[in-house]
Chain A
Amino acid sequence: MNNNAVLLTGAVVIDESGERQLDIRLRDGVIAEVGEALVAGDEEHLDVSGCLLAPGFVDLHTHLREPGMPEAETIETGSRAAALGGYTAVVAMPNTDPTQDCVEVVEFVAKRGREVGLCDVRPSGSITIGRAGHQLTPFADLAAVGVRLFTDDGSGVQDEGLMRRALEYAGELGVVLAQHCEVASLTAGAVMHEGECCSHLGLPGWPALAEELMVHRDIELSRLTGSPVHLLHLSTARSVELVRAAKAEGLPVTAEATPHHISLNDEHLSSFDTRYKVNPPLRTIADIEAVKVGLIDGTIDAIATDHAPHPSAAKDRPLDEAPPGMLGLETALGVARAHLDCSWQHLIGAMSWRPAKIAGLSDSQGRPIAVGEPANLVVIDPDAEWQVDPHALASRSSNTPFVGVDLKAKVRHTMFQGRVVVRDGIATA
């Protein structure tokens, strides 16, 4: 048996150029052959009739928690969760301990990702040292070792002057700054969305305005500096409107939304279940509808998970003490498909080639299905209906709110650099 080759037959292939029925043969990490009715050789043969075959997913927003929080997640467990979710690349958020604000930490994360070898782990860099909001990180040094996306995610850059200088400095380096949009002075102590539900529950509110002010500010800073800005996890209707208007003007603004912000609303907090505490918070049904429209019409470019593992010991605390965040990698496709009424090509684009371009990864991710292209691929069973088993997650944590929820479409196989890393929904390593 030839271990360096795989034959996939019977799939509907979907990439940026469209859909067609094709068999493909992978060899030595690339797509070696495409055609109708390819003949099986001595390699592994996966009959994927009835399935969709597409470039692997790219997550712009993954918290892998290593270094620093191995009880929540490690690069290994997070990479496995990513592969099971169909991801062949993840952008690792910088709020590790120590912070990904210098070459040493960034290189550690990238190296550990390569050793694990289940997906492409691309560390982001923080915008400021220690994500403290005061001093810029060495963008050029970090870019030289492969960092393409910078963010202080977990908090927004509060200082307008600093953010302006960061955008000016980043512009000439060909990297993108990504903002966690939250004006901190409006969200002190906040646990959930500010509105009717928080009034009733007596929980401190996180007003939509706190996000929208910073969305507006960064759009204007992007206009001023000409530098691209990517807006992380948009959650409000007005944010979507602001981005739509900015794009209509041709400003270099991109945006993402999470599966949970198109599927869960603030009323879930009525159960006081800390799994629903997330930042930005779950919003109203009207916001959910607006974010969905934004994803469907392309105002929001990408679906990103904001995969945020936390151990039970951290989540089993009062709502004000429990950290915000929920898992996302293993459920993203199933949630997105269940809640977004759009074509498969559009949905996969929002999870693959569009985020690949934003993250500066389009040399190896989100590529066309064609001879010579890197074999980073996902095979999807489009008709699967399933529920998540919280005990069977690859992630080290189990803080998913989607237990008992009907999900649609499931990742069947994932190929990373030509190797089958997930076969029939099970990680091979």
Chain B
Amino acid sequence: MTSHFRSIAEAGTERVRRLLDLTDHMAAVGRRPNPKVPALRGKTVCNLFFEDSTRTRMSFDLAAKRLSADTMTLAVSSSSVNKGESLRDTIETLDAMGVDAFVVRHRTSGVPWQVANWSPAAVVNAGDGWHAHPTQALLDAYTIRQRRGLTNDFTGLKIAIVGDIRHSRVARSTTEILLMLGAEVIHVAPRTLLPPTSHVPTTADLDEVIDEVDVLYMLRMQRERMGAGIVPDGGEYSRRFALDERRASALRGDALLMHPGPINRGVEMMVDPTELSQSTILDQVTNGIAARMAVLFDLLGSGEIEE
């Protein structure tokens, strides 16, 4: 049976820990003068992006290239797919070209599972709907591990994830991996931006938790949610949930400030995070390549990473 990487829960604790260790190895490869290894020579990785995401797409593309895989990319907004062709037709056509792994991004939850039903290739979930973004979770956990000098045990860490939890695949997957590694997670959002039910503690008061957390994880707030009956307007959202000067100064010196990018300045971020020592935002971008290399190697590699 082909193995996939579609959600943190599906991967399981043992594999997640192995992938974090492998990410550490790939990060070291990335720091070399020549960061390229021949591990996936002859393998073909197809990036299938039905939703715009330049950053994630480029990160996956670079990860595959650093492993010497051949890559091809189909980037179309799903609405522009020919109405006469079903998703299944698209997958079967690409599969016939000889693909070892599909990296799938789609605006709808579950598409990576459907793709796996229609193709024998390995499937990596690069973000499906509001559901899961497991490589983001991996790079987030690895960034915390790296910055805090931890192993794969996060017991005692307290993490607040702030913002649009309901519509966030990042929140779901990152919460899942943090709980798996033993951390404590709290979701901070107005009720309208929480899922119908929550399995972690929630609060609508950011100030209540900001000075006690080890990690403050700010989510991107989509402008289109504001004024659509979900939150009244951007100004009120920012006053209640954005990181402003006052809140930034309440953040502990050894805390980490994380964000999946791209940042909506003036919405959830009223300060320049690059001026805060706590910010890990660029580390997350760098580590994203290593985490995706780890996932692709784990699925497609055989034996050694080096020649």
Contacts and interface: CB of A to CB of B under 8 A. Distances in A.
Contacts of A41: none
A320 interface: yes
A316 B86 contact: yes
A320 B108 contact: yes
Interface of B: 78, 86-88, 106-111, 113-114, 118, 128-132, 167, 169, 172, 195-198
Given A195-B196, A199-B198, A205-B196, A318 B131 contact: no
A20 B165 CA distance: 62
Given A272-B109, A272-B113, A318-B78, A199 B129 contact: no
A203 B111 CA distance: 12
Contacts of A314: 86
B129 A202 contact: yes
A318 B196 contact: no
Contacts of B108: 318-321
Interface residues of A, number: 24
B196 A202 contact: no
Interface string A165-190: 00000000000000000000000000
A316 B87 contact: yes
B87 A318 contact: yes
Contacts of B197: 195-196, 199
B132 A202 contact: yes
Given A194-B196, A318-B106, A202 B113 contact: no
Given A191-B109, A316-B114, 15 more contacts: A194-B196, A200-B195, A201-B110, A202-B109, A202-B128, A202-B129, A202-B130, A202-B131, A202-B169, A203-B129, A207-B196, A272-B111, A313-B86, A318-B78, A318-B106
Contact of B172 (A191, A202, A274, A318): A202
A317 interface: yes
Interface string A266-292: 000001101000000000000000000
Contacts of A205: 196
A201 B198 contact: no
Contacts, number: 68
A198 interface: yes
A318 B111 contact: yes
A201 B86 contact: no
A321 to B, nearest CB: 7
Most buried by A among B130, B172, B196: B196
B196 A201 contact: no
A144 B39 CA distance: 76
Contact of A203 (B86, B109, B198): B109
Contacts of B129: 202-203, 320
B171 to A, nearest CB: 9
Contacts of B128: 202
B196 A199 contact: yes
Contacts of A272: 109-111, 113-114
B195 A199 contact: yes
A318 B198 CA distance: 25
Contacts of B169: 202
B88 A318 contact: no
22 contacts: A194-B196, A199-B195, A199-B198, A201-B109, A202-B109, A202-B167, A202-B169, A203-B131, A207-B196, A272-B110, A272-B111, A272-B113, A312-B86, A313-B86, A316-B87, A316-B114, A316-B118, A317-B86, A318-B87, A318-B110, A319-B108, A320-B108
Most buried by B among A199, A205, A274, A321: A199
A313 B84 CA distance: 9
A318 B169 CA distance: 17
A203 B130 CA distance: 7
A174 to B, nearest CB: 43
